[in-house]
Chain A
Amino acid sequence: MAKLLEVRNLTTRFRTERGAVMAVDDVSFDVDAGETLAIVGESGSGKSVTALSLMRLIPNPPGEITAGSVMFEGQDLLKLSDAEMQAVRGDRIAMIFQEPMTSLNPSLTVGLQVGEPVQLHRGASWKAALEKAGELLARVRIPDAKARVDAYPHQFSGGMRQRAMIAMALACQPKLIIADEPTTALDVTVQSQILSLLKELTRETGAALILITHDLGVVARYADRVSVMYAGRVVETGTAREIYKMPQHPYTRGLMACVPRLDGVLGDRLVPIEGSPPDLTRLPPGCAFAPRCSVAEPGCLKARPVLEDVGGGHRKACFVSVESGVPAHA
């Protein structure tokens, strides 16, 4: 079966006073119809820039997609005209941002905003679009939805605004939803309500989901597959079960070891990853993780590892193999 989305060698950089920021560096991944792919990584690892690049929303200048392709339903999105891309956005691909207050217009009613994609992409009348908005708000379980079509965003709580964003994303039954840290600003109990709702709705509509998060717990609960990013690159990718059971990349292993767990053994000391992420304008020639890596070999500083299959679609970009501790490039 053809992939819904095939991202190949995507490279996005920003020109700044300090030099070129390699925000996304040769990133490749696939998304199948109906599946949830989590992109996980720390702050500045390039998750949002990846998402914005797919949607062609990178501000230029200072940003530029310098290489790669984004095949979506057989079409390279990077080759579309602006008007053609406009027709894809909010229709076949929808995006949910982290902070709904900045992505909802405070001076327009929620109903107008949730209904807009229907009016824009389906040529519906505003009356029909507003009616649809009421249905969509009910679908994301906003109490009293029909009456709330005329409310303004500030009259909604944080959780309700995020529900409204989900309703807007669902408006045209997209094939792919990209949710960039959709619940980071919300309380834990609300967070799990919203993520469960999003997951349930994608299951119902058959939409695929790219879920961007820095929370390994969220990944474990909601994702089918995972791509782990570090310093603009994908360092490991595979099914969630595989990656949690047998993380192969030293960075992924480090991440798993350094987060305390609700069910962890009490009294154990956390094992931090020493040092901090690299400056993206001054990336080392070898593996970007090498300066922090506890199993790095001299070769890791010289050449850059690429993603290689370690079995069953599980891939990692690292020279050193976990079991033996022997570098793969030796």
Chain B
Amino acid sequence: MKNKKEIDLTISNFIGKKGSLIPLLQEIQKLEGYLPKETLRYLSQKTKIKLARIYGVATFYSMFRLKPQGKHIIRVCKGTACHVSGAEDIGKAIRKELKLGELEDTTDDGLFTVMEVACLGCCSLSPVMMVDDNTHGKLTPEKVTEFLQKYK
């Protein structure tokens, strides 16, 4: 565990509070970048929440990642409005620019993780993607390539 001290602090902030498992996992993911197995095991020991329950929750929600993820998260919208406005081509352009294979989602240099999401709430500017917390709209495959250069 990289951030044991911070994790301990987070756990002690939440311990005993009702309904705290999801925010706890969110905080841990923020610290560690993802949810490593050993950290979940540690969490289970400290909180006395059964590991199976933790794992059940961690696998239910799409935001939780059990594998390491890139420094920047790219969320490509595959919602209805974006779908009819060419989201497919945007996704392809991103994958091409980052040289990602069909089943890969994180670049070899650990810089980017690409995910698909169902709607970013900016449908009026479709197609849309979100890089970390910044949303970019009215995309074209060319614009995407340009944006990604900036983050590299």
Partners in one complex: no
